[in-house]
Chains A and B, each alone.
Chain A
Amino acid sequence: MGDGMATKREIRMLTGNEAAAQAVRLCRPSVIAAYPITPQSELVEELAKFAAEGLIDAEMVEVEGEHSAMSVLIGASAAGARTFTATSGQGLAYMYEPYFAASTQRLPIVMAIANREMLNPSIVAAGEQDFVTLKDGGWVIIVVENCQELLDSLIMAYRLAEDSEIQLPVNICYDGYYLSHLSDRVEIPTQEDVDVFLSPTQKYERPKVDPDKPLICVSFAPGTLMAEYRYKHCAAHERAKSKIDEIDGELFAHFGRSYGGQIEEYRTEDAEVILVTMGSRSGTAKVVVDRKRDEGLNIGLVKIRSLRPFPHERLIKALEGKKAIGVIDRSVCFGRNCGHLFVDVKASLADVAAPIAMVNFIDGLGGGDITIEHIERAVDITYQAARGEPHKKVTWLALE
């Protein structure tokens, strides 16, 4: 370990919800407003317990629903508070209106989303349909693979959100049950080390509601100003790309852990075929990549960590010159009849000189397992595409 790197740590078995609660405690938010919903409930319970035990010095606001939770945080964040909330599925849907209000007012709110399917059928299981449906709501959206990455990403989220150059709210998304409820080995950094890591936020500046220096928050504006705000919002997303990579580098310098920033590349250098994944299924897909490598196939994996801003430039760099790309989705883009990630990846690859064969796989809906066997079939189909053989563009791995 290098100089200045954290040496003290606590290692525990934690569920994703518990790991997220530990991260929130270490970031010292001053206002938390959250409404419990499966599979996120345990996170809210843990935070309430921390508050009762005096382990966090945050105002815990009991709200009557998610719309109120986000509205409370909009007010608190506008007044300069560090804020946190968490939700899932239908709770996120109920938050739709203030979700946009938070991002378009450029408030650095951090929200964890334990991914859950949208109705119907009535189901509380994992699925990405909730947050991918809101990917164009102006927030930064980071998707994590395991409980350690969840804890670290929440700490990184405050650095990104509050940066004077960024001023954007950040979602940290983790698969319901697969991460929220299953236990994983997690290193919990010390409070002192996290304080040092977050210390740059003390000098960050942003407009705040302050009686001594009155400002109008959510001012009425003519259409020309609206265009200006949207342009600046997009520019902030553009700046966030390199900032996500930078903060990941700083995490490595402080704690010895790195996730690659906007994307993680796994055995991609000499690969001809690449799988593109997001979230906890990336772990299973890495196992498949290792197995196929042992069989002699030149295959690699790209894990999308930052769904918004979309890592266009880094993705092109990682995928250019490959023979075929297989994108594994855990959501359905109705009307386009494929997955959401596939649409985004395909849009980016339109900018490469030589066309790359692209295939899509939909799996794991309603909490279904995205198994090694499923992903091996996905690899076979992607290789058919690589060889130019007839193949299906979109394969529903649980159905066919």
Chain B
Amino acid sequence: MKFQTEYEAAWASVEEIILLKTSDWRYQRPVTKSEKCCQCGSCYLYCPSGSVIEEGNYFTANLDYCKGCGICAKVCPSNAIMMVREKRE
């Protein structure tokens, strides 16, 4: 018998959950033009899944969790974010 977990029931280590990527059904991804980003933080505030991270002098999405809804692109006042279709690997 092959088991996936050491636990007897629905217990899990916190690390396992952090590793769980919840973005595998995304069909488009946000791509930020860093030179256009004015660091207003609108995308960070509006992102419904809390996936936006600050990357030095611009904001971008953590693609492990981003579902590709496009709200960040819509609210960006400098049009720095473009939604790009995902390609099947």
Contact = CB atoms under 8 A, between A and B. Distances in A.
Given A215-B14, A216-B17, A219-B17, A104 B9 contact: yes
Contacts of A233: 8-9
A215 B13 contact: yes
B4 interface: yes
B25 interface: no
A207 B13 CA distance: 10
B1 interface: yes
B19 to A, nearest CB: 12
User: What class of interface size applies to chain A in its complex with B?
Assistant: 20 to 34
B14 A232 contact: no
A84 B8 CA distance: 22
B12 A106 contact: no
Nearest to B11: A207
Nearest to A226: B10
A207 B7 CA distance: 8
Q: Is the interface of B mostly helix, strand, loop or mixed?
A: loop
Contacts of A217: 10-11
B37 to A, nearest CB: 34
A229 B8 contact: yes
A224 B4 contact: yes
A270 B6 CA distance: 47
A228 B13 CA distance: 17
Interface residues of B, number: 14
A106 B8 contact: yes
A231 B17 contact: no
A371 B80 CA distance: 86
Interface in B7-33: 7-14, 16-17
A232 B9 CA distance: 8
B11 A216 contact: yes
Given A215-B14, A216-B14, A219-B17, A106 B9 contact: yes
B8 A231 contact: no
B10 A104 contact: yes
Nearest to A101: B10
Given A216-B17, A228-B3, A231-B1, A221 B8 contact: no
A105 interface: yes
B9 A229 contact: yes
Contacts of A236: 8
A215 B16 CA distance: 10
A167 interface: yes
The 10 closest A-B pairs by CB, nearest first: A219-B12, A106-B9, A207-B11, A216-B12, A214-B14, A232-B8, A219-B10, A105-B9, A106-B8, A218-B10
8 contacts: A104-B9, A105-B11, A106-B8, A207-B8, A215-B14, A218-B10, A221-B12, A233-B9
